Structure 1
Amino acid sequence: MPRTKPFQTVLSEAVVDLRRYGYDSKARLQKWVRDLRRAARGMVGSDAALEAEIKRALQQSYRQQVTGGLLARKHGIPAYTIKKLSPTLQRELSRRTQASVDLIRLNRTKSIEETLQRFSGWATAQNPGSAADEQLRPLKTSLSKPIRSLPFEKRRVIIDQTAKLNSNLNYLTATNNKAIAVEWYANPDRLNYNHRKEHLERNGKIYALTDGWAYQKGFITKGAGLYEDIDGFGVLPFCSCRGRYLYHLDQIPDDMLTDKARAALKNT
Structure 2
Amino acid sequence: MASFVKELREAIKHFLEYGYSSEESLIMWTERLRNATENKVDGNDLYRYTSRRLTAAYDLEIGRGKALKRHIGVSRFTLNYLEPKLRAELDRRIMASAGLIKLNRSQAIDKTIQRFSGWATSIPPISEISVGLSASSRTSAIATSQHIAKSARQIDFEQRRVMVDQTHKLIANIDNIIATDGGAIAAVWHSHWRQPNYDFREPHKERDLLVYAIRGNWAMKKGFMKVGPAGYLDEITQPGEEVFCRCYLTYIYNVRSLPDEMKTEKWRKFIEGNKSVGRRSANFEAIKNGG
Length-normalised TM-score, structure 1: 0.93
Report what 2:288 is aligned to. none
**Which structure has the larger Rg over C-alpha atoms?**
2
C-alpha deviation, 1:189, in angstroms: 1.2
Aligned counterpart for 1:105 among listed residues 90, 102, 105 = 102
Residue identity matched to 1:85: L
* 2:55 is the alignment partner of 1:59: yes
Name the SS for the 1:231 alignment partner: coil
Contact 2:5 2:146 in 1 (8 A): no
Report what 2:18 is aligned to. 21
Name the SS for the 2:115 alignment partner: helix
Deviations 1:15-68 (A, max 9, x none): 11100111111111111111111111111x222212111111110110011111
Residue identity matched to 1:36: L
How do residues 1-268 of structure 1 correspond to structure 2 at under 5 angstroms? 6-43=3-40, 45-75=41-71, 76-127=73-124, 128=126, 129=129, 132-223=137-228, 224-268=230-274
Residue identity matched to 1:104: I
Name the SS for the 1:264 alignment partner: helix
Residue identity matched to 1:134: T
Moved more, 116-125 or 253-262: 253-262
How far, CA to CA, are the matches of 2:167 and 2:38 in structure 1? 26
The count of corresponding residues between Structure 1 and Structure 2 is: 263
Contact 1:82 1:173 in 2 (8 A): yes
Deviations 1:218-268 (A, max 9, x none): 332222111122111111011111111001111111111222222223334
Give the structure, 1 or 2, with the largest relative contact order (CA under 8 Å, sep 6 or more). Answer: 2
Length-normalised TM-score, structure 2: 0.86
Contact 1:100 1:158 in 2 (8 A): yes
C-alpha deviation, 1:6, in angstroms: 2.6
Extract unaligned runs of 5+ from structure 1.
Answer: none
Extract unaligned runs of 5+ from structure 2.
Answer: 131-135, 275-291
